[in-house]
Structure 1
Amino acid sequence: MKKISFVIPCYRSEHTLPHVIAEIDEKMKTMEQYRYDIFLVNDCSPDGTLETIRSLCASHDNIRGMDFARNFGQHAALMAGLRHSDGDYVVCLDDDGQTPADQVDRLIDKLEEGYDAVYARYDHKQHSAFRNLGSKVNERMTRSMLGKPADLYISSYFAAKRFVVEDMVRYENSYPYIIGLVLRATRNIANVPVDHREREEGASGYTFKKLFSLWFNGFTAFSVKPLRIATAVGAVSAAAGFLYGFYTILKRLVNPAVPMGFSSLMSAIVFFGGMIMLMLGLIGEYVGRVYISLNNSPQYVIRERINMDE
């Protein structure tokens, strides 16, 4: 009998999490051909989410809980759950009830067809305009930097086979980026349509700062294209500066009465100075990530394991 492991990152979900678990339980009663367990990872939520997880673990033998020592982010929470899971299929979903757990059979059926990973596709997302904008920026970035197929829709609700998960958890450096790890393991990925619900309560935990950090992490985590773009921009800027200097000298020779342009000189200095600082900052970001990785900075730190063998 095959087994499904559900991985749910938890943050500010003390009221919504029990509904998500109840929905999984009800759905799995109709999928008796599978065993299942659930991994709840508390990303140092400031509300009563941890107590909710403790209560759920106490009332369910197949629910495991983990509590982070500090907030490490959704992708780190996913990595913790993936690393402890042992199902033939692993399903990741949200804790707010917006991702329909009762439609998990659609993802599993697609895996059974032979795909290695399956992402839920939403025809009508119930996120805010700001969150949707962040998703679009992230989608563009993954397409250009990570080689994501243009027709592949990426969401937080997905399922993957065991061998894909095993390859993902081999990544032990800081700054994990889930879609980058999936694309690194396989390109045999499909979409299935599912509904997207309105949030039951509260607001998304993704602020502008967190969305930008997520986007920049994907921008630099699995690709050297930013450095190549920086090289190309530097070459174009140098060529533009050379041509402008040639134009200035030629103009002076043709008409000696033309005054030397202080404004144009300052504009050129500011432009090229800014470009240099931008490129140095980008290089510094890569060097900093290498430094942090060499210092073995952890993806996450687990303070407490609940209903799990140590």
Structure 2
Amino acid sequence: MKISVVIPMYGCPEAIPELHKRLTDVLHKIVGDDYEIIMVNDSCPKGSWNNIKKVCQNDSHVVGIDLSRNFGQIRAILAGLDYSTGDWVVVMDCDLQDAPEEIEQLYNKAQEGYDVVFARRAQRKDSAFKIFVSGLFYRLYSWATDVKYDESLENFSISSRKVIDSYCSMREMHRAFVMYIQWMGFKRTSIVVEHHERYAGKSGYNFKKRMNMATEILTSQSDKLLRVLFRVGMAMSLAAFIAVIVIVVRHFIVHSPAGWASIVASIFLMGGLLLAGLGIVGIYVGNIFMQVKNRPLYLIEDVLNGRKEDKDE
């Protein structure tokens, strides 16, 4: 069986030689020469493409894909998956926090009859704040989609061809690899792996980027926020109706003076809720607007050691 390894490359060109060496060793051990390593350069500003070209020149098993600009990690993964040909496909990061040697365990576990095997991090080598924000997002996402998602799972995984083909067939603008794979079902499991320190570089996802990605994923996969907004609006309308009746009654019975402070506060409260509601609706409408354009999810500048036909998707 042929194995494809898909790796989005961004921010850690120093790790490429070591990554290639260790991948070659473990893949030779599993399937001999029947493998491919697909390195997708997501317009890395540190020169990853130059290192990828050197590796491709020395090893025909390595396919180098250079995207025309930065499209983000998930779309870089999609580009590699679209190009992959293996019966089994491994997805992993480039910084060696995931040890290539764990691929053998993933592969052996998959041979027990599973379509997908995820790596589960025993202990994350990330900051406490990053872990907290990640956990908060997964809990919110689980609530929004009514599906329990495990925050300890990561992109590092091995999937059968039918799983990868199913994932690639969904061409939505906003996507998340692990969540989509879990949503599709199929027979899946996970194994515990050690999470290592970065070999080089640092994460390209700052807090702002993480929040933007969370908003995109959440609003593209669930309409629960709209339903919650409707319920809040109905509850406030009912409360306001009751308040109006109480005010009218008090006016004729107690003859209470007008309260300008309460009026102003109510206006600001309702105005803020209306603007927030319009903002949420606007995000959903914006998602529809971007999707109906039907633009390619990525564009390829160059391909090394691979098929030369146009694979822009």
TM-score of Structure 1 vs Structure 2, range by shorter chain: over 0.9
Name the aligned partner's letter for residue 75 of structure 1.
I
- Name 2:228's counterpart in structure 1: 229
1:33–1:144 distance in 2 versus 1, CA, 3 Å? farther
2: CA distance, partners of 1:152 / 1:13: 25
Correspondence for 1:73 = 72
- Partner of residue 293, structure 1: 291
Give 5+ residue unaligned stretches, structure 1: none
Aligned partner of 2:141: which letter?
T
State the 1:248 CA deviation.
2.7
Alpha-carbon distance in structure 1 between the residues aligned to 2:112 and 2:206: 38
Q: Report Cα offsets for 1:211-260 as digits up to 9, x if no partner.
A: 0121112101222222222222222222232233333333334421x322
Amino acid at match of 2:284: Y
Equivalent position amino acid for 1:103 in 2: E
Corresponding residue for 1:241? 240
Q: Specify whether residues 8 and 278 from structure 1 end up closer, same or farther in structure 2 by C-alpha distance, changes over 3 A only.
A: same
TM-score of the superposition, structure 2-length normalised?
0.92
Q: 2:281 aligns with which of 273, 280, 283?
A: 283
Deviations 1:162-199 (A, max 9, x none): 11111111122322222342133215332210000011
In the TM superposition, what are the counterparts of 1:1-310 in structure 2 within 5 Å?
2-32=1-31, 35-149=34-148, 153-186=152-185, 188-256=187-255, 258-310=256-308
Instruction: Tell me the secondary structure at the aligned position of residue 139 of structure 1.
Output: helix
Q: Structure 2: which 5+ runs fail to align?
A: 309-313
TM-score, normalization: structure 1? 0.92
| Aligned-partner Cα distance in 1 for 2:24–2:175 | 30
In 2, Cα distance between the equivalents of 1:146 and 1:116?
23
Aligned length, in residue pairs = 308
**How far apart are the structure 1 equivalents of 2:157 and 2:289?**
32
Alignment partners' CA distance in 2, 1:30 and 1:24? 10
How many Å separate the matches in 2 of 1:250 and 1:119? 64
Post-superposition Cα deviations, 1:12-43, rounded to whole Å, max 9, x if no partner, equal: 11101221221111212321368221111111
The answer to whether the 8 Å contact 2:37/2:63 transfers is yes
Say if 1:119 and 1:153, in contact at 8 Å, map to a contact too: no
Query: 1-side partners of 2:145 and 2:20: how far apart?
Result: 33
1:83 to 1:239, Cα distance in 2 relative to 1, 3 A: same
Going from structure 1 to structure 2, the CA distance change for 1:86 and 1:192 (only over 3 Å counts) comes to: same
CA distance in 2: counterparts of 1:57 and 1:185, whole angstroms: 34
Match of 2:311 in 1: none
Q: CA RMSD in A?
A: 1.9
Identity fraction in percent: 29
Runs of 4+ displaced beyond 6 Å: none
Cα 1:262–1:163 shift into 2, 3 Å: same
Flag the 1:38–1:266 CA change in 2: closer, same or farther, 3 A: same
